[in-house]
Amino acid sequence: MSSRSNDPAGRTALVTGAGTGIGRAIALSLSRAGVRVGLLGRRSEPLQRVATAISSEDGEALAVPCDITDDRQIASAVKLVRAALGPVEILVNNAGVAHSAPISDVSDDAWDRLMALNVRAVFVLTRAIVPDMRDAGWGRIVNIASIAAHRGWRYTAVYTASKHAVGGLTRSLAAELSSLDVTVNAICPGYVDTPIVESAARVISDKTGRSEDDARDRLAAFNPMGRFVTPDEVAASVMSLVGANSGAVSGHSLIIDGGSQPV
């Protein structure tokens, strides 16, 4: 067990999909807790905006544009973050993509693309970062999954399969890494007010003729509380899993959707 404090302050985190939505909220929350943050994502401009926001609050961040479906780019990005901010002891696998189609319309390419981003990238990044955590004797891994890791809906077979896979990785890695004082947990939000939901509302509007506002309302209604989860609410849950008193919580899947699966 590490002789250092269990407080995350002064440590380095890496967050994927950090330029917008949930990833942005998580990165800002980590920085406000005194964590140095490596920001990964496909597009440079959103990452730079988050890095600037962190810097304006006297935090420390590094924006690294990266396609996390490319193993070589992952290796390069991790190397850059280590060199600039230090070994990574907090990993938030947030990046992901959604997909909806009848199974007969799902192409091999669509399957491969979702699995590469939603599953394989989680595995490759975790494998790359675990040595830092082993050396530190401390680590926190949070995988942003989905309520789809616990349920299934029509036309979401590929997405649902990918999120169930993340749940399996989470549970198995939690068991494997527990002796290192490394926790691994998943957060499973319902519908969150993000650009992905905006895109989904546009698709529904185009296909059905409903207004985008009506489409948004119908998506929000899937959450029992009748509204979207906010990115800040997801970020708050992440912080609870990386905080000073989080070491006994591992292998869990935290559903954040307002009560679809009460105890």
User: Which residues belong to the active site?
Assistant: 159
3-state helix, strand, coil in the chain (%, to 5): 50, 15, 35
Q: Report the sign of the C-alpha dihedral through residues 8, 11, 13, 18, in that order.
A: positive
Per DSSP, the three-state class of 170 is: helix
CB 35 within 8 A of CB 9: yes
Q: Which amino acid is at 236?
A: A
Concatenated DSSP letters of 132-164: HHHHHT-EEEEEE--GGGT---TT-HHHHHHHH
